[in-house]
Amino acid sequence: MFGFMGFGEDIGIDLGTATVLVYIKGQGIVIKEPSVVAIDKDTNTILAVGEEARRMLGRTPGNIVAIRPLRGGVISNYEITEKMLKYFIEKAIGKRSFVKPTIAVCVPSSVTEVERRAVEDATRQAGARQVHIIEEPIAAAIGAGIDIAKACGNMVVDIGGGTTDIAVISLGGTVVSESLKIAGDNFDENIIRYMRKKHNVLIGERTAEDLKVHIGTAYERATPVTLEVRGRNLITGLPKNITVTSEEMHEALQESVLAICDAVHTVLEKTPPELAADISDRGIVMTGGGSLLYGLDKLIKARTGINSIIAEDSVSCVAVGTGKFIEFLSEGKGKLDLFHSKKKEEVVVNTPPTSIDE
């Protein structure tokens, strides 16, 4: 689809470690696919991108490798990231557009100037006419419907696939922030390590994700749940079925979830008293797929004494916020006007989740 009067599309991209989401002005989220690329090593050609490539993880022959070109929220393979971005941009707006799009891309709050430049260059090489970089907590807050332009403290905890970004925001900017390389991917790694140590069973990434989604637990459940999975017995080398309980997942994930809670506590300690009082009244807003881990909001509340709220459609908050950011930029509004709108959205508390999509 062409942009208005041929000036090209305005696109917001949540370039996540686990998932790429693309937002187009006037259309909303148009793409939501895994950040995975399948490559033929013999010919160095891309065979599949996104969901099709994710289905190949752990199931490819020797000459085909399915990789994630982003790690810890930053680019680990520049060339593949550029090709992946180009694929998603063309899929979103089509190859027929005569004018290159203006694109806003979000990055973790702790990225270095070199890492920020790598994202900007890769996006430009993938076909962007102009690139704007926005920090993930700011985008998440906008996407969650928070009016961050006010002189009022808002705390956002964005838990993605590769990073957890925690920030206190006021007057359209970040006052205190912290970024951890602990997030959804680490939850998967914790589960794989636990299954290997406790049951002598090796499971793959997709099985670990299934366990996290269905019975992963950060806070003790009133009614335990179980899930049967299949892995490879490390002693016999044969396939083995095993029933895993939510109590075991609670034990497996403790180290990572407590590290996130400690980081939230650290940011609160560094927050100016007036803003800390605002946060105590308004609560902590949680976004990102990792926030849907069962009981994580309850654990943060128990550790901080502050109500924790999971934003509505938390998985899409960063992408929506990035898209709204570029919409306002295209309309030529100032920094503080950027976040004001006539109709304010409410942050809605979700019921306990049944799935995690990072």
Q: Extract the annotated binding site for ATP.
A: 161-163, 209-212, 289-292
Tokens encoding 55: 């289905």
Task: Retrieve residue 184's tokens.
Answer: 């959804």
Percent of residues in the chain assigned helix, strand, coil, to nearest 5: 40, 25, 35
CB 260 within 8 A of CB 179: no
Contact 109, 16 (CB under 8 A): no
* 296-303 contacts, C-beta under 8 A, 24 or more apart: 296/159, 296/218, 296/219, 296/257, 296/260, 298/218, 298/219, 299/218, 299/219, 299/257, 299/261, 300/157, 300/260, 300/261, 300/264, 302/219, 303/261, 303/264, 303/265
8 Å CB contact between 133 and 112: no
Q: CB-hemisphere CA count at 13 Å for 79? A: 4
d(CA 15, CA 105): 7
Instruction: Provide the 8-state DSSP code for 53.
Output: H
Q: Per the annotation, where are the binding residues?
A: 161-163, 209-212, 289-292
Contact yes or no for 141/156 (Cβ under 8 A): yes
- Inter-residue contact 311 to 337 (CB < 8 Å): no
Three-state SS for 63-123 is CEEEECCEECCEECCHHHHHHHHHHHHHHHHCCCCCCCCEEEEEECCCCCHHHHHHHHHHH
List strand residue ranges (DSSP E) for the chain, in order: 10-15, 19-24, 28-34, 37-40, 45-49, 64-67, 70-71, 74-75, 102-107, 130-135, 154-159, 164-170, 173-180, 201-202, 226-233, 239-245, 284-287, 308-310
